[in-house]
Structure 1
Amino acid sequence: MKYPPFIYEPDKSIGALAATESFFEECPDKKELITDLGWAYHSIGKTVPQTMENFWSGHFFPYMESWDELQVSFNLMMFGFYKQSFMSLRSALEVGMLSVYYNINDDGHNAVQNWYRSKDTWEANTPRSDKIWKILRSNENIASFDKEFDLKKQFDELGFLHNYVHTKGYKYSNYIGLISSNWQTFEEKGMIRWVNVYERVILLLLTLHLLKYPIGMIEFDWSSKVGIDNPFPVLNTFQVERIKKILPERHIAALEVIAKNDPETQALFTHISDLPDMTEDECEEQIFKLDQMSIEHGPGFIQWKQQELDRMEQHYPESRDVVLKRMKRLEAWATENDMMHPIEERSLHKDKRD
């Protein structure tokens, strides 16, 4: 395919990607940092409560949009589009803060509506940062933490990101202040700069979410109470460990104190911990029903079985007897209910029969 007289062409992006990946092979610590930060922010979304009242209301949209922007930013960086990657980091920061802003009083399903529906009114405009911080600081946890660690200053120091949006001169142009080719290329300085800002953005957003939802700092075996079908906005132990791995130690200590003293956090923790322990049979039945759903709405039993066998051998071979026994039950169910093949084949066969 012939293109207009463009210099920024897709083929050059492939070259930038290859050079970026080569850098990560030589510097795996950078790749590990990006991965750890990404997993930590992915985990924190679980602390935003999902209830019958707010489900599909849009209250979770700001967090999801911020997560999308972080991924887009990473992709742009990998292909050498550094200016645009910083622009996406700015969007991730701003919309990620809205996740806490709109849910600050636990009525995000109502508060978010005008903005979420993009109404053509001033109330629907994305709020300015001074208004956002005024609302954020109305939360006692955020206010006290901000007083000690100056979160607002951390946010203000990221203010330079808007310069990429408005192209404030050569430094914030597509050249990002470097003497380089006039097309997308791998630039180590640009990539290192991106990793630094990516880290600062995620740490700030993580901290704000944990201050609003301190239950995210509590390590507890929730599965012993609710099995694998956990309806509560809590994190598994490995997810808490991910977050603690990247947060400064002083921040961790302060957040743990806040979690111990936060009335709502302690009330929820007490409620869950006072529940009776799940029996092995109850846990097994949960897993069985979840597997049924996976088979019915996906690959069908035959493909599902092979996927599960591969996963079992790789991750938990010690559970072989239990898994094989469950598979035997599932095979009988799938045979009886015509769930052996993928949903597309089943739908096609059904249409032909009809």
Structure 2
Amino acid sequence: MEKVYATFRFRRHKLPPEAFAIGPEREPDPTDLIDAETWGEITTLPDDVSLRTSEHYGTLLRNANQLVRLWIEMVLDLQSLIKNPRDDALALACLDANDDLQASIYMMLTGFYRQSISTLRMVLEEVLAGVYFRAFPDSTKVQQWANGLREGQLWINRIRKDLSGKEPYCFFETGEYILLGKGGWVDFLYSRLCGFTHGRPFYTDEEGNQVPTSNIGLWGGSNGPVFEPRSVRLWSAFFFDTVLLCLMFVGLAEKRLLTLKRPTGISFKDFCEHVVSWHSALHPVVPKIMRFLEQ
């Protein structure tokens, strides 16, 4: 007989209107109901993957979900330090990043590994843009950036170059392990995340190692979502590395988070330590940044 685990995962239902801050007073009747065959073709494989993933990676999912909860609490703390959060690029960027982190977790849960990893590039780009505008304030450029205008577009190479010459970021550009320069943490991570965004089957690193970057490769050759533990572990490494790197930048850009007397949830320092504890392989520059933030 087939074993059945955690039956709560098999139930599906709508949330009532009162569960939402903004929503209709009553649930509208269906106007164009999907047929069972189409529903099944769309959801059957991802549902299967989500059940298998949650059978073997409950701790990973719990940690990632807790991270998102702590992230939005950090965003509220960040907003509390700013007179007009809607005009602050860092606050806007961190708020948007929260949605992308949630999406990344869900896509990994349902087996869309390539999309779950490529989304992390957006998180890094958003946060780095917010940090950049903190280092180089320009209200016009911020508005152009927020409105999606060409004049407000930022390129990662420019961000790296300009920040690497600006305090406090320049403090981490000496020695064997660096933050922003060529071969540094940002360069290393961003180049690999780009491999999952540019639409090629593989990413080949500096040493000739090939990493599959298409869903077919990440599914082990399957043509539909299937549970693949190696790809879950790959996503995990990228997910926690991206969040930790972003946290380091947020702390460097807004050190008042370190001394906030009444944080929404836990302290910024404790948040960083949680992520460090969930990370499988810290970049060697992390301890240097952490010591600086604690000063």
TM-score, reference length from structure 1: 0.59
Instruction: Give every structure 1 segment of 4 or more consecutive aligned residues whose post-TM-superposition deviation is greater than 6 Å.
Output: 3-8
Deviation at 1:40, TM superposition (A): 4.8
Q: Report the counterpart of residue 142 of structure 1 in structure 2.
A: 169
Match for residue 197 of structure 2 among 152, 165, 175: 165
1:90 aligns with 2:121: yes
Deviation at 1:62, TM superposition (A): 1.6
The secondary structure found in structure 2 opposite 1:113 is: helix
Alpha carbons 1:87, 1:162 under 8 Å: kept: yes
Bigger proportion of residues as helix: 1
Match for 1:97: what amino acid?
A: L
Q: Report the counterpart of residue 57 of structure 1 in structure 2.
A: 87
Deviation at 1:23, TM superposition (A): 1.2
Q: State the alpha-carbon separation in 2 of the partners of residues 150 and 246 from structure 1.
A: 20
The secondary structure found in structure 2 opposite 1:157 is: helix
Deviation at 1:61, TM superposition (A): 1.8
Q: State the alpha-carbon separation in 1 of the partners of residues 143 and 275 from structure 2.
A: 34
Deviation at 1:19, TM superposition (A): 1.0
Q: Report the counterpart of residue 19 of structure 1 in structure 2.
A: 52
Alpha carbons 1:215, 1:259 under 8 Å: kept: no
Structure 1 unaligned blocks of 5 or more: 224-233, 261-354
Alignment: residue pair count: 240
Deviation at 1:197, TM superposition (A): 0.4
Using the aligned pairs only, state the percent identity.
18
Alpha carbons 2:52, 2:227 under 8 Å: kept: yes
Q: State the alpha-carbon separation in 1 of the partners of residues 130 and 155 from structure 2.
A: 14
Match for 2:179: what amino acid?
A: L
Deviations 1:58-92 (A, max 9, x none): 52222212221111111111111111111211111
Q: State the alpha-carbon separation in 2 of the partners of residues 163 and 235 from structure 1.
A: 36
Q: Structure 1 residues 3 and 98 mapped into 2: Cα distance closer, same or farther (>3 Å)?
A: farther
Match for 1:87: what amino acid?
A: S
Q: Report the counterpart of residue 319 of structure 1 in structure 2.
A: none
Q: Report the counterpart of residue 273 of structure 2 in structure 1.
A: 244
Deviation at 1:57, TM superposition (A): 2.1
CA RMSD across the alignment: 3.1
- Greater C-alpha Rg: 1
The secondary structure found in structure 1 opposite 2:111 is: coil
Alpha carbons 1:214, 1:259 under 8 Å: kept: no
Q: Report the counterpart of residue 68 of structure 1 in structure 2.
A: 99
Match for residue 225 of structure 2 among 184, 198, 210: 184
The secondary structure found in structure 1 opposite 2:223 is: coil
The secondary structure found in structure 2 opposite 1:255 is: helix
Deviations 1:147-192 (A, max 9, x none): 3541121122221222222221262212134424311122111111
TM-score, reference length from structure 2: 0.70
Equivalences for residues 261-276 of structure 1 within 5 A: none
Structure 2 unaligned blocks of 5 or more: 1-33, 203-211, 277-281
Q: State the alpha-carbon separation in 2 of the partners of residues 14 and 97 from structure 1.
A: 34
1:38 aligns with 2:68: yes
